[in-house]
Homo-oligomer: A and B are copies of this chain.
């Protein structure tokens, strides 16, 4: 257990609440990942929320001592409308899991379920931290020299300058506390590199970040420079962030499929493949987006991470790593501090 952070949840254990029923491959892959992770981390606790019989059916044996099943009778499916589903399914795994966080019975929630439902349940059950106008969903993006944080990738529509300004603060704390970047470089993702160039929200956020002075605000970053790691946190409106994140996935997959096709082509390709196998491994490792684990939802009263709906056990295990790290880093506490002028907000689960 890393005790080097300023404040830890608890030196002994992090209690991770896992939505066992959420995701394209739930509960099978979620349960498998959880059991494997729990065995590898015997001092941590996992609370597996879902339909007990279905969890037990896929567990294939006795639970490790540090895994507890918390019953929930309903499931929000991936194709449901979040608003309707949450209203109708009060005993769904995501709602019960969120309640565990609210009641201080868990330190962090990890879900591979419907991201819209996860965000809505978090806002509904936990609420926003005082001073935070809107929560934001962040993600780690790949560069050759390490990850940067992209925020917002989909928690809000039509963000204002003030929203972007708040996202910058929350993203900075996440980069500092979880990625371990001292004094993270914060940039607004925009249309030109000249500071202030962009739409009204970007211009307003620029003004606010300049006036504030608490962050290491470096101005704008353009799309072409994102992969050069010129910023540790790139702040943008949700449509920009979501399109960028998914375009990364689509374009990288496309380019690698072209190479794969060429390496499968004829004797030349197959021979080159054998020669390049170590190189291909290096490039694959760099672009292993499963290691990015999960997207933290910043700005709510509790730590919630949402991982890919299509995540399988390997990615979910990384999401559990990310969850434990985020819980230890106590991001909500630090956000509360930053947004409430250093006045500590009481947190039941931390006392």
Contacts and interface: CB of A to CB of B under 8 A. Distances in A.
Interface of A: 143-144, 154, 157-158, 189-192, 198-200, 202, 222-228, 236-240, 242-256, 258-259, 262-263, 265, 268-269, 271-272, 275-276, 278-279, 282-283, 286
Contact of A247 (B144, B154, B223, B272): B223
Contact of A275 (B202, B251, B268, B278): B268
Contact of A199 (B239, B247, B256): B239
A276 B283 contact: no
Given A144-B258, A248-B251, 9 more contacts: A154-B191, A158-B199, A191-B239, A223-B242, A223-B244, A223-B246, A225-B250, A251-B252, A252-B255
A269 B258 contact: no
Contacts of A259: 259, 283
Contacts of A244: 223, 243-244, 247
A104 B265 CA distance: 53
B286 A275 contact: no
Contacts of A256: 255
Contacts of A272: 271-272, 275-276, 279
Q: Give the 6 A-B CB pairs with smallest separation, nearest first.
A: A223-B246, A223-B247, A262-B279, A224-B250, A224-B246, A223-B243
A248 to B, nearest CB: 6
A137 to B, nearest CB: 11
Given A243-B222, A255-B255, A265 B248 contact: no
B262 A246 contact: no
A234 to B, nearest CB: 10
B157 A189 contact: no
Contact of A258 (B239, B249, B286): B286
A176 B237 CA distance: 32
A64 to B, nearest CB: 36
Nearest to A280: B262
Contacts of A247: 223-224, 226-227, 244, 247-248
18 contacts: A144-B258, A157-B191, A189-B243, A199-B237, A223-B247, A223-B249, A224-B250, A224-B253, A225-B250, A227-B247, A236-B239, A243-B244, A247-B247, A248-B251, A251-B252, A258-B283, A272-B272, A275-B275
Contacts of A271: 272, 275
Contact of A239 (B158, B202, B255): B202
Contacts of A189: 239, 243
Interface-centre pick from A224, A228, A263 (highest chain B CB count, 10 A): A224
Contacts of A144: 254, 258
A239 B192 CA distance: 9
A282 B245 CA distance: 27
Contacts of A237: 199, 239
Contacts of A192: 242
Contacts of A248: 223, 247, 251
Given A269-B276, A275-B271, A279-B269, A157 B222 contact: no
B224 A249 contact: yes
A173 to B, nearest CB: 24
Contact of A191 (B198, B202, B242, B275): B242
